[in-house]
Structure 1
Amino acid sequence: MREIVSAPGAPSSPLYSQAVKAGGLVYVSGLVGIDVSTGDLAGGTIHEQTRQALANCRTVLQAAGATWDDIVEVGVLLTNPGDFAGMNEEYASWFPSTPPTRYVAKLGVELPGVLVSIRMTAFTG
């Protein structure tokens, strides 16, 4: 059985669920660096958008009853592969030790101003 997770403190869309829980796993959709308090991107730099995208993922994980330590995989999609080093700098501060598995790829769609989209899978069972 699957359970749809909704967190008012993170970006949402009628086209996807923020997360779905199934079989002890929490699948968090790719979230961008939108600050829901303003409705705008958190800033124009990869550091600002990575920070906000990770914060948005954390908000959704918490709504699903998962913790940061439950994360087993992170997927990062970059608009500009040249932003890899800057994304890594911010990312490293969120996972200082025993990080989850991760992949990084190029974002396949163009969204105005969006530099990064981050998705996660966590295990709670």
Structure 2
Amino acid sequence: MNSIQRLRPAGLVSSPAFSHVAIVPPGATTIYIGGQNSVDADGALVGADEMAAQSRRALSNARTALEAAGATIDDVVQWTVLFVDGADLAAAYGAIASDLASDEPPLVTGAQVAGLGVPGSLVEIGAVAALIR
């Protein structure tokens, strides 16, 4: 095996948005991206209280972190997305869905939480990626 296998087994809900299982081949380099909020390089919150704007910026920050490690969104094995309770999930996913669309989507874990580390943050996005060279 020389690529990541993403599986959507029969018997589990079928979704174009996520896979259920990922198999990373031996020898791959694993990259962990810590939760990225909607902040600029100075740490200032971007997007005020707009869920879509914050989601786009958090994903942009995650992409920047991936690129620093030599990876892209296509190398992501699993996304972790945290939302503040009461957040507009449709707006969040709607704002970033086209960036994450894939024939073999990664795994996705989403959760609603009471709060995040950056005051005013509505969303935080982390990732695990694998590079196969």
Give the TM interval when normalised to the shorter protein: 0.7 to 0.9
Shift of 1:81: 4.3
Q: Which amino acid aligns with 1:120?
A: A
Post-superposition, which runs of at least 4 consecutive aligned residues in structure 1 deviate over 6 A?
none
Q: Pick the structure with more strand per residue.
A: 1
Which deviates further from its counterpart, 109-118 or 45-54?
109-118
Point out where structure 1 has 5 or more consecutive residues left out of the alignment.
1-22
Alpha-carbon distance in structure 2 between the residues aligned to 1:122 and 1:107 = 24
Question: Is 1:83 equivalent to 2:88 in the alignment?
Answer: yes
The separation in 2 between residues aligned to 1:55 and 1:46, in whole angstroms, is: 14
Larger relative contact order (Cα-Cα within 8 Å, sequence gap ≥ 6): 2
The aligned length equals: 103
Percent identity over paired residues? 37
Q: CA RMSD in A?
A: 1.9
Larger Rg: 2
Q: SS state of the match for residue 89, structure 1?
A: helix
Which runs of 5 or more residues in structure 2 are unaligned?
1-27
Alignment correspondent of 2:44: 40
Q: Tell me the distance in 2 between the aligned counterparts of 1:77 and 1:83.
A: 12
Relative to the length of structure 2, the TM-score reads: 0.69
Which residue of structure 1 aligns with residue 31 of structure 2?
26
